Amino acid sequence: MFVLVTGGSGSGKSAYAESRILEFGPGERIYLATMMCFDEESKKRVERHRKMREGKGFETAERFLDLKNWEPGSRKKEGQRAILLECMSNLAANEMFDPAGSGADTAEEIKKGIEGLLAKCDHLVVVTNEVFSDGISYEKETEAYLKALGEINCYMARRADQVVEVVYGIPVMHKPDRSGENRGDR
């Protein structure tokens, strides 16, 4: 199953995404972290997320660039493999602005990476941020980033079995899974 979780900053989307991974049952749980730490605020955010995951059986792997070539290695636990990618917004920024990234090809390269992840796991949950809802005009580079992230988000939404927006900690289902089950009412 592929679940896309979106929402604004501080909406509770990370906690919701983790709870979804736990619902898939026992097995290997990989937290694929994409945030590069440049300052104290980002270090605090990473630490807060690590504390949220404590005791939940996640193995953390960091991947800042080149998602399509990431390999999880051999399975370490019996059961299904579930990957939580946190967060697409960071990955897209890394790819677009890091000199080693894919630059103008960011959206296409990340789409290939998503397909690669889907082939390597039983369940994938991707966290992303809501974009374009503020109505503000930005500098050219930021506009290019938002356009790429928007394209990636639209692609993932079409590809995903479920799309959930978390608003003030409340999951709102926008696309139920193929079985018709609506998990947004929990």
Binding-site members for GTP are 7-14, 50-53, 62, 86
Q: Which residues pair with 124 in a beta bridge?
A: 2, 83
Q: Tell me if residue 41 falls in helix, strand or coil.
A: helix
Q: Which residues pair with 80 in a beta bridge?
A: 27
The three-point CA angle 162-165-168 to 5° equals 145
Nearest to 146 by CA among 163, 159, 158, 128: 128
Catalytic pick among 49, 113, 114, 125: 49
Nearest to 173 by CA among 157, 151, 150, 149: 157
Distance CA(111)–CA(106), nearest Å, equals 9
Residue 73 carries which side chain, given as an amino acid letter?
A: G
Give yes or no: 123 in active site.
no
Residue ranges of the binding site: 7-14, 50-53, 62, 86
Nearest to 152 by CA among 116, 181, 109, 120: 109
Catalytic residue list: 49
